[in-house]
Homo-oligomer: A and B are copies of this chain.
Amino acid sequence: MSKNHDERIRLPALRKKVTSAEVAAQWISDGMTIGMSGFTRAGDAKVVPLALAERARKEKLKITLMTGASLGNDVDKTLTEAGALARRMPFQSDPVLRAAINRGEVMFIDQHLSETVELLRTGQIAPIDIAIIEAVAITESGAIVPTTSIGNSASFAILADKVIVEINLAQPLILEGLHDIHIPKHRPRREPIPLMSPSDRIGTFAIEIPPEKIVAIVVTEKADSASNILPPDDETAAIAGHLVEFFKAEISAGRLTNSLMPLQAGIGTIANAVMAGFLDSPFEHLTMYSEVLQDSTFDLFDAGKLDFASGSSITLSPEKNKQVLRDIAKYKERLILRPQEMSNHPELIRRLGIIALNTALEADIYGNVNSTHVMGTDMMNGIGGSGDFARNAYLSIFATKSTAKNGKISSIVPMVAHVDHTEHDVDILVTEVGLADLRGLAPRERAQVIVNNCVAEPYRKRLLNYIEGANKRGGHTPHMLETALSWHINYRKTGSMLLHEIPQYEPELELS
């Protein structure tokens, strides 16, 4: 790699820091807090963590691991299997780690993605000992140029005592210039963030740290893991269709223009499919101010629908990835990657007037949303950025298919068994059945609109029965508490919510 050496490590003094993953991993010791690059499987540190896992198989070595969001390359899986993870934050999506979290073996702290570095900066969570950051290059001044994601990498590197850099030759140098690193000042002397449009550049191209903090550099050639989302299907197409119709009506009512407002789309199949649905819409000159940029972002660029996209990472399917990297020069002027603190910042989301589209695991008849916990107890991935966006957006949309597990689970239930987003923060709920516009409605009205518009039979009649019984009991948000979670309880007992019979309404004591 001698040629790449000069091109990729431009500060000569740092070239002597090049070493193996195994040697680099020796900087890490038991009990440390490690901050790694990686956001939605993109731009993750790929070889030092695996060398660390090797060590953990042989010696007592447990760390607290912070990242941007989810990792690829089986890093979370391998570290979990090696018993190397004591604590993990703020997001993950690995089945093996997930199981360990749900067994109570790994302490997982499920955080709003904009908040982790704010807590670190103020010393409210344990400080980072070592940051491990994937880079396309280190500049002449020792600054780190990230790859396909920024996530929390910039603040991790700035706040860590020591930094290990993974120079990834599989990440092309043309990625340099894509990034915009802006770090807010410490409070109480913080200034407004000077960003007024998704395309505004407000920071630097690389992460500036004192070069002497870089203690090891490892050269890799491993690719990012590909996106594992599914292609659009009939149901996701129906969801997209309902949303396109909704936006057309908003435009007709004069509330939106044909370019809508900057769009955020959560990671995953449904959000990607909805964005793909905009390909056949009348909307144009769209912009995105989002977290992860998926296949649909580039399809919308190619279709001439999208003017600009700001995110914190790029995560693509294998085919799309090849095409985008080949044509990256053409997209580069219309793309910015930012730290997740900026992509998800409440100040910016509110100022820009984002239309936020996130996926619900389940929602209830009042519009409370569970994004994370299967049957109320078992963590799926984490809240991610959905709370950053839903709480501060111009319009907060949650989408889900109306049922799961071949109809054995209704995604709309009397009461969600875990709440990540309260009814205050859910404006629109949409399933393949239809769309519920909840703006300006009281809970009893929300229940009628949600059940009539979003729920498939055979669950609709059951929910209407529940509402009828609950309304007889009274209250601003009527419930029959002894029945409210019975759908989940029945699912756990029988493997289906469908066996559930709605009990008759029973009189009860008045509240004193």
Contact = CB atoms under 8 A, between A and B. Distances in A.
Interface in A453-491: 470-471, 473-479, 481-482, 484-485, 488-489
A54 to B, nearest CB: 26
B471 A104 contact: yes
A235 B378 CA distance: 37
A351 B196 CA distance: 16
Contacts of A1: none
B493 A253 contact: no
A123 B322 CA distance: 44
A420 interface: yes
A187 to B, nearest CB: 3
Contact of A377 (B375, B417, B473, B494): B473
Contacts of A439: 119, 124-125
A193 interface: yes
A350 interface: yes
Contacts of A193: 192
B508 A492 contact: yes
A508 B489 CA distance: 10
Contact of A509 (B420, B442, B493): B493
A379 B479 CA distance: 12
Given A377-B478, A442-B107, A509-B492, A187 B261 contact: yes
A283 B503 CA distance: 57
A103 B376 CA distance: 30
Given A394-B122, A481-B375, A489-B482, A420 B418 contact: no
Contact of A187 (B107, B191, B351, B427): B351
Interface stretch (A108-116, A147-155, A308-316): A108-116
A111 B391 CA distance: 12
Contact of A424 (B110, B394, B479, B489): B110
A352 B383 CA distance: 25
Given A107-B442, A475-B379, A481-B417, A374 B511 contact: yes
A110 B122 CA distance: 33
A7 to B, nearest CB: 39
A391 to B, nearest CB: 5
A241 B417 CA distance: 35
Given A192-B351, A485-B485, A492-B481, A442 B108 contact: yes
A321 interface: no
Q: Interface size bucket, A side? A: 35 or more
Contacts of A73: none
Contacts of A420: 422, 424
A350 B353 contact: no
A368 interface: yes
Nearest to A198: B188
Contact of A512 (B376, B442, B484, B495): B495
A476 B102 contact: yes
A374 B476 CA distance: 10
Contact of A444 (B104, B347, B373, B478): B104
B123 A262 contact: no
Contacts of A196: 189-192
A11 interface: no
A197 interface: yes
Contact of A440 (B125, B188, B253, B262): B125
A374 B474 CA distance: 12
Contacts of A194: 192
A80 interface: no
Contacts of A508: 492-493
A473 B196 CA distance: 49
A272 B430 CA distance: 42
Contact of A102 (B262, B475, B493): B475
Interface in A72-102: 87, 89, 101-102
Interface string A22-63: 000000000000000000000000000000000000000000
Nearest to A186: B353
Contacts of A495: 509, 512
Contacts of A262: 188
> Most chain-B CB neighbours within 10 Å: which of A108, A126, A373, A484?
A484
A395 B118 CA distance: 11
Contact of A482 (B395, B445, B485): B485
Given A377-B481, A418-B477, 5 more contacts: A102-B475, A122-B394, A345-B350, A374-B511, A377-B475
5 contacts: A89-B440, A119-B440, A188-B197, A346-B350, A377-B478
The 10 closest A-B pairs by CB, nearest first: A377-B475, A192-B192, A187-B353, A379-B476, A107-B442, A419-B419, A347-B347, A125-B440, A346-B346, A481-B485
